[in-house]
Structure 1
């Protein structure tokens, strides 16, 4: 092997990581993540007997994931290809071998029995689909047309994955933090912390288990939201953490933006105002935004979609996010936005009214509505009205037949039964009380902890933040106490719940489901 290639391979194997060429690693990153060459043109290739593929459609990240640790889908396995895995011999599965009948030969996956890759073997695998031991790779593995420089760049980037411990992980502990925003009430803050602290302490590794213990830090924020990023940065400098877990806040945009800028996993915070386009954050649901989109779906499905959309919300509260989502889905409708307390205009056929109001303001708005034509729908946010926290709505508006509540949670009775069954005993055994006005918060917090615990226990020997996010995507089955009837995740998905019910108010002032769960 030529000297430059040998020097590069030694660097990839970890003998001299400081020698790695950052420009080469950046080129490899673009190839791996985006399927783009250094000049910005897309990489081309094809799968066995398949059509030509280009760019992102054929990028390595699609199967081997951002962490390089691979994935499993059905019977297809995309193996781990970080430098530690790729440039070492394959490792047979640990543990007891399966039984075999006399005369039967067991054949393990080729990636577990192969020799170590070097640059020449990697180039052959990429071009011809032949592994270092001469075995054919899976037909799903694309064949690429890469230059020698591009193979070197890809190898350099793979060697960088997991090469250094991420912030927040030391030999002594895995450090986690939970963020408490000042706009959450003291009662709700304490309800979240009580559940989270007990859960983390109980799920964490036992002394003597040879696993790093988990350390949970509480980051309390103060003052208005514009000051939060500086406070978060100070907390992170003083105590680097691997991830943020749960947390609570009505406004969340500054925390979201901080997590995205730092590539810091932010896992299942208790907020109804998630930030846009999450990558490093995974949320329980899209919050009030999904209410807006479900309202739009409900209105569009009517024989005559509205010509004018009248919305009442406070510009400085999270209802503005739901109102914006609703308006974005109905661009053809004229828009009239009103502040709370503003007398509504006379509503006529072709109008729809959406109320994004807290409980007292909602009751007042409904009590002062002028008579409405039968065709005018009134849509209410269950989240803003806190209708999921009570058995009875207390709206006194059951005579308003056009009133519909968009409710992004399970039906109250079903949800409470599930909470009592899955969480009630655990809480009472620890001296905690499952309260009607905080059970959604308590259940969501416990599920956030349980899912994250599963993910932490399955991390690779060289953990990464990308790897944690991917393990969380696989561990969602641990979310047995959320407020949602359906909670699932998958590769790249960032919301566990994705829909809402449309409900009406019964004669006895309770919410009744109308139709199926709606995913807009």
Structure 2
């Protein structure tokens, strides 16, 4: 069976519209209107692809282990010969990816091997001539004019030959980078073919075509709000998402996004059942952004549910995402912008190891999120430094950077400021006054501690807590966590000059310059009020990157493929919403890899955080 008659026109549209296209500032929404139309066309094509081998659930499971993990049906490790007769044990998914859609890097292109691509003759896609360079387009289009690739569809016999000897279905040699699996028997080939037959043969949940012959369809999405999410965060989320959705309701849009809002209620233990009910009522293709509370555990029930359901959960507004459980595999379906206080602790550890503290290093925290960050910093400071990091030192630190001091001997005191209870002004100031000029304080507590210190230090001359206020010098340097406290500077002049902010995001000046490029013009067109640029920039980035990832997919349906397309979309991206920069490698699920130190600049009445040195990459 040949490809559907729809296939050539679908792919021709994809190549014509998207080759060389760029998305200004992450979103040229007029382009998205055209690209969404391709999805219905491709879904119709996939529905006619019924000649590929079918598989039972048990066969598919064995095929998945072979394809993704490199485990043969008998349990042995898959092994082949690569270029130069080198032994290769990389599983198929290592290059062709979980979706089977392959990809490319530089001059190398890995072909898709889904059932639609492998077991049927290609529909006239161009293959570059020998020596031609494959362009690495931001649009995701990698096809350029060249000689036509013509071959029959594979069957089990020709597939076995290709795997064992490197000869394709037309009798031509495959690329030398494709390993030769000379020991692969017929049973293993059948097992692998069974799994390949399951890749992209059906539309994914959440993709709805209006009916036979219809020209429109719907892309069902949701966003999730936890009960403890701050009201302003929820407002930033919903207003931005609804504005994005409204821009894609034109009659010309063939696949319109339909956004649901799932507001969780009650105890976290009840949330999975609520999520399952909503998903059963109307399946969604992905969770787009979301809003959680300040605790790193606030999003955990949602993230665990997304992982169990194999549901993409993209860039929620979470200060510090939950850590992967020790015995659980890393998150595969949840994409976060930053690890929050964990990245801050790692970056601060790099700085403090290079500029050791003369006196005591004291850490305050008031909940489990802060306690974990304090523990991570303490562990990083007490283990041997076995590699270098990219960083700039905090040159305002009063310590001598050249001193020969053993930083392993520093006293690291984890001080629970009121445990999980609010810290009042008297308690904060009393603890502050136990520290001296040579000491360093790291505050992992929430906004209550910052407010308490501001109040206490403003009142200190009138409310002494030591025999004389002169005895209360306080620490010489104070590091604050942006993920715990936000970017609001301390109000009390008594400690503004000592404060430093550790953040994975740019300072206010750079943020405003960035939003002037994309967010502000989009907000004006949408009639959207900008009241919290940081939060709104994150949602804007999520919708923009999601839009671009869909364009890269060129009408191919699949949740795996969406995650892989997002990896390419976020590859070394300079303009990254409020974050310093973002980058994703294959399988990575956290985009930000660095943090920086900010100091206060400006007059006492209008101080703002400003970058202090280069980004630190742990």
Which TM-score tier does this pair reach, normalised by the shorter chain?
A: 0.7 to 0.9
Question: Partners in 2 of 1:335 and 1:45 — Cα distance?
Answer: 53
1:189 counterpart = 2:234: yes
Does the 8 A contact of 2:508 with 2:608 survive in 1? no
- 1:151 match: 189
Corresponding residue to 1:326 among 374, 377, 389 = 377
Corresponding residue to 2:256 among 213, 216, 237 = 213
Question: Partners in 2 of 1:270 and 1:179 — Cα distance?
Answer: 10
- 2:518 match: 422
After superposition, the C-alpha distances for 1:405-462 in whole angstroms (9 at most, x for unaligned) are 1021112101112213322232133322212xx1111111111111111222343555
Give the number of the structure with larger relative contact order, counting CA–CA contacts within 8 Å between residues 6 or more apart. 2
SS in structure 2 of the partner of residue 152 of structure 1: helix
Q: CA deviation at 1:230?
A: 2.1
After superposition, the C-alpha distances for 1:252-289 in whole angstroms (9 at most, x for unaligned) are 11111111111100111111122333210111222222
Q: CA deviation at 1:94?
A: 7.3
Residues 14-25 of structure 1: matches in 2 within 5 Å? 14=50, 20-25=55-60
Query: In the superposition, relative to structure 1, how do residues 189 and 13 fare at CA in structure 2: closer, same or farther (>3 Å)?
Result: closer
- 1:471 match: 565
Does the 8 A contact of 1:260 with 1:279 survive in 2? yes
- 2:549 match: 455
Question: Partners in 1 of 2:513 and 2:610 — Cα distance?
Answer: 16
Corresponding residue to 1:364 among 438, 452, 458 = 452
Where does structure 1 lack aligned partners over 5 or more consecutive residues? 1-11, 101-105
Residues 110-509 of structure 1: matches in 2 within 5 Å? 112-144=149-181, 145-172=183-210, 173-202=218-247, 204=248, 206-209=250-253, 211-250=254-293, 251-275=298-322, 276=324, 277-303=330-356, 310-315=362-367, 318-332=369-383, 335-340=413-418, 341=423, 344=431, 346-347=434-435, 352-365=440-453, 367=456, 370-372=472-474, 377-387=477-487, 390=488, 392-398=489-495, 401=498, 403-435=499-531, 438-459=532-553, 461-476=555-570, 480=575, 482-506=577-601, 508=603, 509=607
Query: In the superposition, relative to structure 1, how do residues 200 and 399 fare at CA in structure 2: closer, same or farther (>3 Å)?
Result: closer
Query: In the superposition, relative to structure 1, how do residues 14 and 245 fare at CA in structure 2: closer, same or farther (>3 Å)?
Result: same
- 1:31 match: 66
- 1:3 match: none
Does the 8 A contact of 2:507 with 2:598 survive in 1? no
SS in structure 1 of the partner of residue 201 of structure 2: coil
Corresponding residue to 2:611 among 498, 513, 516 = 513
Query: In the superposition, relative to structure 1, how do residues 395 and 164 fare at CA in structure 2: closer, same or farther (>3 Å)?
Result: farther
- 1:4 match: none
- TM-score normalized by the length of structure 2: 0.72
Q: CA deviation at 1:347?
A: 4.6
Question: Partners in 2 of 1:312 and 1:39 — Cα distance?
Answer: 54
Q: CA deviation at 1:196?
A: 1.0
Does the 8 A contact of 2:436 with 2:473 survive in 1? no
SS in structure 1 of the partner of residue 362 of structure 2: strand
Moved more, 30-39 or 223-232: 223-232
Q: CA deviation at 1:497?
A: 2.0
SS in structure 2 of the partner of residue 344 of structure 1: helix
Does the 8 A contact of 2:102 with 2:113 survive in 1? yes
CA RMSD of aligned residues (A): 3.0
Question: Partners in 1 of 2:52 and 2:159 — Cα distance?
Answer: 20
SS in structure 2 of the partner of residue 517 of structure 1: coil
- 2:9 match: none
Does the 8 A contact of 2:519 with 2:537 survive in 1? yes
After superposition, the C-alpha distances for 1:49-78 in whole angstroms (9 at most, x for unaligned) are 152122xxx111111111001101111111
SS in structure 2 of the partner of residue 33 of structure 1: helix
Question: Partners in 2 of 1:38 and 1:349 — Cα distance?
Answer: 66
Does the 8 A contact of 1:447 with 1:480 survive in 2? no
SS in structure 1 of the partner of residue 84 of structure 2: coil
